[in-house]
């Protein structure tokens, strides 16, 4: 089967998922064609059965806004024809689903009939997509896609709530590759960041408002006051400068390390004791699942799809959005008892196995087969 995958190539969860899906399918012998505007961050080096087609939008003085969607649709048409693709799978509705619909219609005029799958990831429905300026196009594309998938039950419900569509939405959750290998010189790496008796808390995101990274700092201040700890903030984004300011306002500069963008986060997770995800909304929380797959318990908010991933009192704890007191109490509850921490770590790892790459990817494979 030859599959075209359209995605955002950046550090966001939707791009990571789409890239990992393509890599896994390629390893199973499918021919994968990534179509996007730059090399996906998780793609890595040369991979058998993987091809990359760049969408290059030229700058013309007439355009205040470059017509990416149009160029993407043309690229899809070109790649489908040249590579004889069997199916297109677009990740994130805006503008990938409408570009796919346009490509599909153009191909019909060439007597080529190709189905497309739209996978909803979250903000395309819960934040950006809800903006009335997008609504009619998203609703239309949801109805026109040959199949629609969502990464959690919660996102499926949000879609029905915000868009007037009755079409079937298949829930195919995000997945994670279990880590077989242990890492060398972990203790040495850890000692670069914290003393042996200092727990390491970690947060990974794109530092956007929706992630509430300020809450990570505020809950960390409460934890650190009781148990001296370190906080690793991984990623970058619009809130970075405000966070640096907040850090110095609450006198935490010595204890908080801004790590920056990291391509492969498992090394950071391997030295972390807790993962913190206090988001305002989160359709799934891939970063939390990746932490759990490294045996790191999760302190999170209880919003959106997070309860489908983080099990309260077992793999970590959940609190209401903004309740940093409760988050810090929960963090201390785990950190202050080594035996308890071990149980949470084990539970987190076990829970992550429910989202194993093989199980989940086979769901996409059968969906593709049904459509073709």
Residues forming the site for ligand GMT (CB under 6 A): 12-15, 17, 92, 121-123, 126, 151, 174, 206, 208, 210, 281-286
Q: Say if CB 195 and CB 254 are below 8 A apart.
A: no
- Interatomic CA distance for residues 132 and 362, integer angstroms: 35
266 phi, psi to nearest 5 deg:
-65, -25
Minimum separation from the CB atom of position 90 to ligand GMT (A): 12
Q: Which is nearer to ligand GMT, 284 or 317 (by Cβ)?
A: 284
Q: Which is nearer to ligand GMT, 210 or 321 (by Cβ)?
A: 210
In which residue are the tokens 């972390």 written?
Answer: 272
Minimum separation from the CB atom of position 66 to ligand GMT (A): 21
Minimum separation from the CB atom of position 316 to ligand GMT (A): 16
In which residue are the tokens 């497309």 written?
Answer: 116
Residue 50 pairs in a beta bridge with: 32
- Interatomic CA distance for residues 319 and 219, integer angstroms: 12
- Give the distance between the most distant pair of CA atoms in the chain: 68
Minimum separation from the CB atom of position 92 to ligand GMT (A): 6
- Supply 114's token pair: 């190709």
Q: Which is nearer to ligand GMT, 281 or 351 (by Cβ)?
A: 281
Q: Is the Cα dihedral 259, 263, 267, 268 positive or negative? A: positive
Q: Which is nearer to ligand GMT, 224 or 283 (by Cβ)?
A: 283
- Interatomic CA distance for residues 194 and 160, integer angstroms: 46
Minimum separation from the CB atom of position 338 to ligand GMT (A): 31
Q: Which is nearer to ligand GMT, 21 or 114 (by Cβ)?
A: 21
């Amino acid at each position: 089967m030859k599959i075209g995958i359209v995605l955002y190539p950046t550090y966001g969860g939707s791009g990571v998922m789409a890239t990992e899906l393509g890599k896994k399918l390629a390893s199973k012998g499918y021919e994968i064609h990534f179509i996007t505007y730059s090399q996906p961050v998780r793609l890595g080096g040369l991979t058998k059965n993987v091809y990359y087609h760049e969408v290059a939008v030229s700058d013309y003085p007439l355009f205040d806004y470059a017509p990416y969607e149009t160029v993407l649709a043309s690229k899809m048409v070109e790649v489908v024809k040249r590579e004889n693709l069997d199916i297109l799978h677009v990740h994130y509705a805006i503008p990938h689903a409408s570009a796919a619909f346009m490509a599909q219609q153009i191909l019909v005029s060439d007597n080529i009939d190709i189905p497309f799958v739209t996978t909803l990831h979250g903000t395309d429905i819960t934040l950006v997509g809800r903006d009335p300026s997008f609504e009619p196009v998203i609703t239309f594309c949801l109805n026109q896609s040959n199949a629609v998938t969502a990464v959690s039950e919660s996102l499926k419900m949000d879609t029905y709530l915000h868009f007037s569509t009755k079409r079937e939405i298949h829930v195919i959750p995000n997945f994670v590759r279990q880590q077989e290998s242990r890492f060398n010189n972990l203790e040495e790496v850890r000692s670069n960041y914290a003393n042996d008796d200092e727990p390491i808390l970690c947060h990974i995101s794109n530092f956007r408002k929706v992630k509430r990274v300020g809450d990570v700092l505020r809950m960390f201040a409460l934890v650190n006051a009781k148990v001296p700890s370190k906080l690793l903030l991984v990623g970058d984004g619009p809130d970075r400068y405000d966070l640096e300011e907040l850090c110095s306002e609450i006198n935490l500069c010595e204890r908080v390390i801004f790590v920056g963008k990291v391509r492969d986060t498992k090394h950071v997770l391997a030295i972390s004791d807790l993962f913190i995800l206090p988001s305002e909304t989160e359709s799934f929380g891939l970063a939390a699942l990746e932490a759990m797959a490294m045996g790191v318990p999760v302190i999170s908010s209880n919003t959106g799809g997070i309860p489908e991933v983080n099990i309260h009192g077992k793999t970590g704890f959940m609190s209401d959005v903004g309740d940093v007191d409760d988050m810090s109490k929960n963090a201390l509850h785990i950190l202050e008892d080594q035996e308890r921490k071990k149980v949470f770590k084990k539970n987190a790892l076990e829970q992550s196995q429910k989202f194993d790459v093989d199980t989940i990817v086979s769901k996409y494979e059968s969906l593709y087969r049904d459509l073709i």
